[in-house]
Structure 1
């Protein structure tokens, strides 16, 4: 169809601008990157309708409008930096909420990435996480799998959903007081079991792992030497 052809041309143009804009690792978490990779996943997985990915910081869990479906990606690895003191930390319990709808042959996905606050500042701000490109690709693969299940009646097995690899050592209790998802009831209660092999690559499926890293790291140019 002509609309599909025009959409593909727009996708190609958007992908070119996205990957030019995201040549540095620091920009791997921009919305343009998410949209570009999402468009590629839609093409690769042969979704027959055009879909758009948008950001919406007002999304609420279990509050879909009629005709919409919900998917929550739990326990993704994100890296944070405080905008006030420049303290850095990593969390393996970052949650991403998606609401999606297919109407008259056009799909829309709304996305909310939950934020965290710095535990060192007296009046911290909610900070957005950065993700590796591998993590973004895995999350969006899972999103498209759910789109195929919800709107195209594709049978989905649990094994079709990929685990987000946690390649940073994370140990210690999840800081629920500084987690936006916890405050809104999205997080499950964190587990506090010790991780004796915490310095090996971790995966989300390993229930022995907990959330935050509290180990000494090399001094950061901004002076941030600890990671939560």
Structure 2
């Protein structure tokens, strides 16, 4: 899905935060590192279902565990919040020298990711007690095969959360 899909779903999910008088923005940032947020930023890490397509051979494959890292911060004086997201990539196991491909998430799964993120924002930035929300991800054509660590960007960097 495109950046505009992520951004419009994020705007929809953050509408309730306008009651605080704050506006929030969303962007992708491939420099975010898991477990290492910038000073005064919070971090939220999730694994989700996604699909990949090799740009070389056009092969597609599903993955149950695509790591998504969100860094977020509310600047209370400016009444603005910022979310930065990084989606970890995978490459094709059949193509020699294949590039790392961006994950393609179903709209339902983007909604769940951003719903859970906004819940975390509400807890961290606004001190709300939300209880438990157990809405899960919808697997789409996901096989039960093994995780391909040799082709997972997060695994290659030693930060994969495949065992979560």
Instruction: Tell me, yes or no, whether TM beats 0.5.
Output: yes
Which of 132, 142, 149 is residue 106 of structure 2 equivalent to? 132
Q: Render the CA deviation track for 1:149-169: whole Å, top value 9, x for unaligned.
A: 100001133x32532121324
Change beyond 3 A, Cα 1:161–1:107: farther
Unaligned 5+ segments in structure 2 are none
Shift of 1:186: 2.7
Higher relative contact order (CA 8 A, sep 6+): 2
Moved over 6 A (4+): none
Q: Render the CA deviation track for 1:129-182: whole Å, top value 9, x for unaligned.
A: 11111111111000100000100001133x325321213242121001100111
Match of residue 149 from structure 2? 176
Match of residue 93 from structure 1? 65
In 2, Cα distance between equivalents of 1:165 and 1:186: 24
Unaligned 5+ segments in structure 1 are 1-28, 191-206, 208-228
Q: Between Structure 1 and Structure 2, how many residues are aligned?
A: 161
* 1:55 and 2:28 correspond: yes
Shift of 1:65: 1.4
Q: Render the CA deviation track for 1:178-201: whole Å, top value 9, x for unaligned.
A: 0011122332355xxxxxxxxxxx
TM superposition score normalised by structure 1: 0.67
Match of residue 187 from structure 1? 160
Shift of 1:108: 0.3
TM superposition score normalised by structure 2: 0.91
Match of residue 43 from structure 1? 15
Match of residue 163 from structure 1? 136
In 2, Cα distance between equivalents of 1:121 and 1:63: 32
